[in-house]
Amino acid sequence: MSWTESKQNRHPGNYVPKQPLHIECSIEKALDVIGGKWSFLVLRELFGGTKRFGELQRNISSISPKSLTDTLRHLEENGVLERTAYPTVPVTVEYTLTPKGEDLHRMLKEMKLWAAKWC
Amino acid sequence: MSWTESKQNRHPGNYVPKQPLHIECSIEKALDVIGGKWSFLVLRELFGGTKRFGELQRNISSISPKSLTDTLRHLEENGVLERTAYPTVPVTVEYTLTPKGEDLHRMLKEMKLWAAKWC
DNA sequence: CAGTATCCCTCCAGATACTG
DNA sequence: CAGTATCTGGAGGGATACTG
């Protein structure tokens, strides 16, 4: 998908950090996961438990199916959620946070605390 | 600046959250501050102390003056850094984190911890 | 030195329509 | 139901040249 590629290009290759590389790389990775336009809204839904495609689409009312798919794929590729398809007719698909995804809660909480304090 | 407006539009108005509004609004605000393409690289420079425009431009080697200006303005508008101009010839301008900006450190640390654990 | 001012162009987001 | 396919506008960002 183009999103992944473009996000990786967000900081052009000729930037050479002077401090240990893993610092900003890891921050960049975290931003890559939650920084997308819809990512944290989807994550927020899933913190409330497993959800299906249609539920997500309804709860995040202005999202298009394309954007939702893109977001879900991106989150899945990053291992923060899991997609499960059941061979019913019609098909049933569920999205659930992985432990890695659940663990994002601490990060988001800090963001919330910061904003609560300063905004 | 168009950036500010566009960022505020990132979540279209017709999305109506079902849980307390301040939760995702605050997360959104935090993301608005650090989520920009260059934001956290600039912030990272400033965590190391006050810097001048030219220093920032040199240290973040691939950034254009336009993008650097945009990023600095955006951060200034959000109150995380302060711009100080000294009437020397030629002009001297310094950028320093505000307490609000310094306080972002906790957030970024959590992001780093998450990535260190899972990536 | 620390920016503006333009131009240009890529490329993603959203809308819409369609389908296994 | 849970997505793809396709088209599109317009913002975002780089390059370059210029300036108080």
Tell me the helices (H) and strands (E) count for chain B, helix number first: 7, 3
The total of structural domains in chain B comes to: 1
C-beta atoms of B24 and A41 within 8 A: yes
Q: What is the DSSP letter of B82?
A: E
* Domain harbouring A37, CATH code: 1.10.10.10
Residue-wise DSSP of chain A: -HHHHHHHTSS-TT---SS-HHHHHHHHHHHHHH-STTHHHHHHHHHTS-EEHHHHHHHSTT--HHHHHHHHHHHHHTTSEEEEEE--SS-EEEEEE-HHHHTHHHHHHHHHHHHHHH-
Which pLDDT score, from 0 to 100, does residue B62 have? Answer: 76
B40 contact partners, CB below 8 Å, separation of at least 6: A24, A27, A28, A31, B34, B108
- Tell me, what DSSP letter sits at residue B50? -
Residue B65 lies in a domain: yes
> The whole model's pTM is what?
0.84
pLDDT by residue for chain B (119 residues), tens only, comes to 334 443 333 333 333 333 333 445 789 999 999 999 999 999 999 999 999 999 999 999 779 999 999 999 999 999 999 999 999 999 999 999 999 999 999 999 999 999 999 98
Q: Is residue B94 part of a domain?
A: yes
Does residue B75 form part of some domain?
yes
Q: Please indicate, yes or no, if residue B15 is contained in any of the structural domains.
A: no
Whether A54 maps to a domain, the answer reads yes
Q: What is the pLDDT of residue A24?
A: 58
Is the Cβ pair B24, A10 closer than 8 Å?
Answer: no
pLDDT at res. B24 = 57
Q: Which of A14, A24, A106 sits opposite B62 (nearest CB)?
A: A14
Q: What is the mean pLDDT of each run of 10 residues along chain A (119 residues)?
A: 37 36 71 94 96 96 93 97 96 98 96 95
